[in-house]
Amino acid sequence: MLAASNRLAGAIAFGLALTLGAGLGAVARGDHVVVHRVGASAPAPTPSATPKPTPTADRSGTVSQQRVRHIAEREGFAFLRPPGRNGEVSRWDPCVPIHYVVDVEIGPPTAAADIAWAIAQVSKATGMRFVDDGTTAEQPDDRRKDVRHTKSGWRWAPVLIALVPDSVFHGKGLHADKDSLAYTDPAIYSDEAGDAEIVTAQVVVDADDITDGGHEDPGALGPTLLHEFGHLAGLDHVHRSGEIMQPDGGGVVSYGPGDLAGLHYVGRAHGCVADAALPTDSDDFPR
């Protein structure tokens, strides 16, 4: 994967330098953060690979970090990653549209409408604009490249929202936990100052494991996507009644008050991300 990325990267650096300009600061590739939604019948939440929210008792870190932790805990949400030294959190640049493609060939007939329904809610809660780039035959892949060459030059890959059969979901090459029915794998890039930006993601749903009770059914595609799109926007799990960001969704079918507070926090209300994390001079994308 590394060799392939590096090979691709030479062209990317060139393309970005041409189309978007250089001098955007060093960018180090962050670790992928994979967050799962476990099935309602699962015995216990599966520990995710993400750091857990820091408890109130922990007074370590800077004042800014403590302040942001306090806000999240008080409001009832959690960030994908702990806040950095200046209190910054991993999120999208909410000032530019987020493009997504969908692979719903094997999903229920309502799949495309369910996705649009859930996207509309996360868009409203964050103030971010999402652009439907249409259907794709692309399959999710842990080795998916984060950048694409388009007619306009190199761009971050669109978010891939894919419904796959159970055999694929639990097959080789995907991050899915044994008990999960969906997961989100955002790509987060960090700069040297610790600022981190989500730039693309894969949202993968086990089409054989979802139920078909519509938007009032916690196990159906719509509410499942509300939970996953919470991850997509930058939220982690919370253990608080009434929030859909509980590890198993908590039987909730809409965003709760903490969910909405978190989506608001990572959204447009907190301004644009100043320096887009373009991989022009990172180790992953050498010139």
Rounded Cα distance between 34 and 116, Å, is 23
- The residues near 21 (Cβ < 8 Å, ≥ 6 apart) are none
What would you measure as the largest C-alpha separation in the chain, in angstroms? 52
Q: Considering the complex, state which of residue 37 and residue 81 has its C-beta at the smaller distance from Zn ion.
A: 37
Strand, helix or coil for residue 65 = helix
Rounded Cα distance between 77 and 234, Å, is 10
Find, among 88, 33, 79, 49, the residue nearest to 201 by Cα: 33
Q: Where are the alpha helices (DSSP H) in 161-220?
A: 166-169
282, amino acid identity:
S
Per CB under 5 A, 175 contacts Zn ion: no
State the minimum distance, in angstroms, from the CB of residue 247 to Zn ion.
Answer: 6
Closest residue to Zn ion: CB criterion? 37
Q: Considering the complex, state which of residue 156 and residue 229 has its C-beta at the smaller distance from Zn ion.
A: 229
Binding Zn ion by CB under 5 A: which of 5, 34, 37, 278? 37
State the minimum distance, in angstroms, from the CB of residue 231 to Zn ion.
Answer: 6
Stretch that binds Zn ion, among 4-12, 14-22, 34-42, 113-121 (CB under 5 A): 34-42
Find, among 226, 272, 250, 238, the residue nearest to 75 by Cα: 238
| Interface with Zn ion: number of residues (CB under 5 A) | 2
Q: Considering the complex, state which of residue 35 and residue 188 has its C-beta at the smaller distance from Zn ion.
A: 35
Q: Considering the complex, state which of residue 35 and residue 261 has its C-beta at the smaller distance from Zn ion.
A: 35
Binding Zn ion by CB under 5 A: which of 9, 27, 35, 205? 35
Contact residues toward Zn ion (CB under 5 A) are 35, 37
